[in-house]
């Protein structure tokens, strides 16, 4: 164990939360063509999240905030919402929001750099959101460190006990941190996040995923002993070989006590295409854990019910709810990608 790991830890997503962050979509972003449909997804998210905890909504400007308030007011208790104004390029809060560690059990925000998944998209405004919100006092007295390496929240998953699950395809991609080796990255993450070991996946891929294989589309901890993962049983499907290889990797991984993980298969839905004929990355692994509930993407596919049933068994004591994310995957992400959980003590007024 490193010295920093003894005082710093990366909580699991199921740890108690003060709130969830959403960066609301707007007409200046890539959502403009189907903004109304996407806002309905955000409304679903807001209604459920506000039943369990606070919601931080980042608005593009003051007129955008008024629009959001008018949209939410008939459906949501607005006292559960913290509004903040900061211009954004896009809405993927998982990747531009803060990553929270606990240092001697107190929350500390890490503001890693965001470069639009390897300079694929504009990101100048998104990369300033976390520091801007902190400067405005949105996170109260929670300290913030600016970290000068690229890391997206969707690329890592923690069991809360010192293990981190991730993919080499993303973290070691030359468009993220050129000049850093896998060992360099591993050492930095152990130091900054307080993790003791990193479980690297060499395989795993979804067509249409432009993040270079974020882990939150592929495999997720449900507890420290259980991993839910994306699977494909159709040998004629383009995903079959890579997801089968990923399953074999997961089967070979061991918990810290040497035992195998309990693996829960989440089938991919039938192929969904956009108007340009591109296959979209529909994944049930992109679920969000909040206080007392788990929100699971739904795509209007028979596999929706299977995913809900299997994740319900993984989360006894939590309500497992489906959220229609068909409109969201038009921009190649899903429910978890849109959100960032804020552990207890982070969000002011929580």
**Which of 57, 37, 61, 35 is CA-nearest to residue 46?**
57
Q: Give the per-residue pLDDT at 1.
A: 39
Looking at the chain, list the stretches that DSSP marks H as alpha helix, in order from N- to C-terminal side: 35-49, 62-72, 93-96, 116-119, 129-135, 168-171, 182-193, 240-252, 303-314, 335-338
Q: Give the per-residue pLDDT at 349.
A: 63
Segments of the chain with pLDDT less than 70: 1-6, 349-350
Instruction: Specify whether the CB–CB gap between 317 and 78 falls below 8 A.
Output: no
Give residue limits of the domains in the chain: 4-343
Q: Give the per-residue pLDDT at 7.
A: 87
Instruction: Specify whether the CB–CB gap between 148 and 113 falls below 8 A.
Output: yes
Edge-to-edge order in the sheet of strand 226-231 = 219-223, 226-231, 262-267
Q: Is the four-CA dihedral 256, 257, 263, 264 of positive or negative sign?
A: negative
Distance CA 71, CA 134 (A): 26
Q: Give the per-residue pLDDT at 196.
A: 96
Q: What would the DSSP string read from start to end of 217-252? A: GTEEEEETTEEEEEE---TTSTTHHHHHHHHHHHHH
Q: Give the per-residue pLDDT at 6.
A: 53
Instruction: Specify whether the CB–CB gap between 205 and 166 falls below 8 A.
Output: no
Q: Is 328 helix (H, G, I), strand (E, B) or coil?
A: helix
Distance CA 123, CA 9 (A): 28
The string of pLDDT tens digits covering residues 210-255 is 999 999 999 999 999 999 999 999 999 999 999 999 999 999 999 9
Q: Give the per-residue pLDDT at 350.
A: 55
Instruction: Specify whether the CB–CB gap between 198 and 164 falls below 8 A.
Output: yes
Residues listed for the chain: 350
Q: Is 311 helix (H, G, I), strand (E, B) or coil?
A: helix
Instruction: Specify whether the CB–CB gap between 88 and 23 falls below 8 A.
Output: yes
- The CATH number of domain 4-343 is 3.75.10.10: yes
């Amino acid at each position: 164990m490193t010295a920093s790991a003894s005082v710093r830890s990366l909580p699991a997503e199921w740890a108690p939360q003060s709130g969830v962050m959403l960066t609301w979509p707007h007409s200046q972003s890539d959502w403009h063509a189907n903004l109304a449909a996407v806002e309905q997804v955000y409304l679903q998210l807001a209604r459920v999240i506000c039943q369990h905890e606070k919601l931080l909504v980042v608005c593009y400007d003051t007129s955008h905030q008024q629009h959001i308030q008018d949209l939410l007011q008939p459906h949501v208790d607005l006292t559960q919402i913290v509004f903040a104004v900061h211009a954004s390029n896009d809405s993927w809060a998982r990747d531009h929001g803060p990553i929270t560690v606990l240092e001697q059990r107190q929350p500390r925000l890490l503001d890693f750099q965001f470069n639009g998944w390897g300079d694929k998209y504009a990101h100048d405004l998104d990369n300033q959101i976390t520091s801007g919100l902190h400067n405005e006092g949105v996170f109260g007295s929670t300290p913030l460190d600016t970290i000068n390496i690229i890391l997206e929240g969707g690329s890592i998953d923690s069991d809360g006990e010192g293990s981190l699950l991730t993919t080499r395809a993303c973290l070691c991609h030359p468009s993220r941190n050129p000049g850093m080796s896998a060992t360099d990255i591993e050492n930095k993450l152990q130091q900054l996040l307080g993790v003791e070991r990193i479980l690297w996946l060499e395989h795993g891929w979804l067509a249409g995923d432009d993040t270079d294989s974020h882990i939150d589309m592929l495999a997720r901890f449900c507890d420290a002993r259980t991993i839910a993962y994306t699977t494909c049983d159709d040998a004629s499907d383009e995903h079959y070989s890579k997801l089968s290889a990923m399953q074999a990797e997961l089967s070979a991984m061991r918990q810290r006590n040497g035992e195998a993980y309990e693996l829960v298969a989440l089938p991919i839905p039938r192929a969904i295409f956009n108007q340009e004929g591109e296959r979209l990355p529909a994944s049930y692994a992109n679920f969000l854990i909040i206080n007392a509930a788990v929100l699971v993407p739904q795509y209007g596919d028979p596999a929706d019910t299977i995913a809900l049933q299997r994740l319900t068994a993984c989360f006894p004591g939590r309500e497992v709810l489906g959220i229609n994310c068909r409109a969201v995957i038009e921009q190649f992400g899903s429910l978890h990608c849109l959100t960032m959980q804020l552990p207890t003590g982070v969000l002011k007024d929580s």
